[in-house]
Chain A
Amino acid sequence: DVKVTQSSRYLVKRTGEKVFLECVQDMDHENMFWYRQDPGLGLRLIYFSYDVKMKEKGDIPEGYSVSREKKERFSLILESASTNQTSMYLCASSPGPLFNQPQHFGDGTRLSIL
């Protein structure tokens, strides 16, 4: 069974801090994704990666960056956290290079920026 593990379930940070959210998958998937989930807005894609050291912007990349140094690990970085980045963050992975495969999600990190 695919396992996607996010490093924290809950995180509280202060405005201006640099924040790291970590995600690890154990199924050797090529594709990894970061979403944020807000009520009434569904899942919005922040960044995704289809290979080590490769990354592409999603729909809402502003204020975020990502890192993928190893295939199993995909990190989301908030360069200077702001209160409007308070949200639920979900990581997902899917096999590639075949597209049109299900994405498998982690449990999410609920991030609060004070």
Chain B
Amino acid sequence: GENVEQHPSTLSVQEGDSAVIKCTYSDSASNYFPWYKQELGKRPQLIIDIRSNVGEKKDQRIAVTLNKTAKHFSLHITETQPEDSAVYFCAASSSGSSNTGKLIFGQGTTLQVKP
């Protein structure tokens, strides 16, 4: 079935360094890829998303890249800050239910930014 694999499961960086989280997906018809950030005890919140008609999207310190041929996409956070510490989830749209907005989520990456 449709599957999204996310790596690494945990990531620890020094403040100011960059962090990269990678996801691969199995459904070649997927065309929407959001990223969510979940701080401890809070709801997941959308931080950036990309659609399959573009290869890269940036929003300040956050960027996402998409390689449709290889079926993988990545989240890049530059100049990390302690408040970036959270669990990050990638997701890919499912073509099986094309008008329902169903997403397949990755397993999550716990990012720790050390001051």
Is B60 among interface residues, defined by CB-CB distance under 8 A?
no
Please report which residues of chain A, range 50-77, place their CB below 8 angstroms from some CB of chain B when the two chains form the complex: 50, 56, 58-59
Size range of the interface on B? 20 to 34
Instruction: Report B29 CB to chain A, min CB distance, Å.
Output: 11
Give the complex CA separation of A108 and B6 in angstroms. Answer: 22
With A31-B101, A41-B107 already in contact, the answer to whether A100 and B44 are too (CB < 8 A) is no
Identify whether the interface residues of A are mostly helix, strand, loop, or mixed.
loop
Give the complex CA separation of A9 and B56 in angstroms. Answer: 37
User: In the complex, what residue of chain A is closest to B1 when comparing beta carbons?
Assistant: A59
Contact A42 B6 (CB under 8 A): yes
Residues of chain A within 8 A (CB-CB) of B42 are 107
Give the complex CA separation of A48 and B100 in angstroms. Answer: 8
With A99-B93, A100-B93, A107-B42 already in contact, the answer to whether A42 and B107 are too (CB < 8 A) is yes
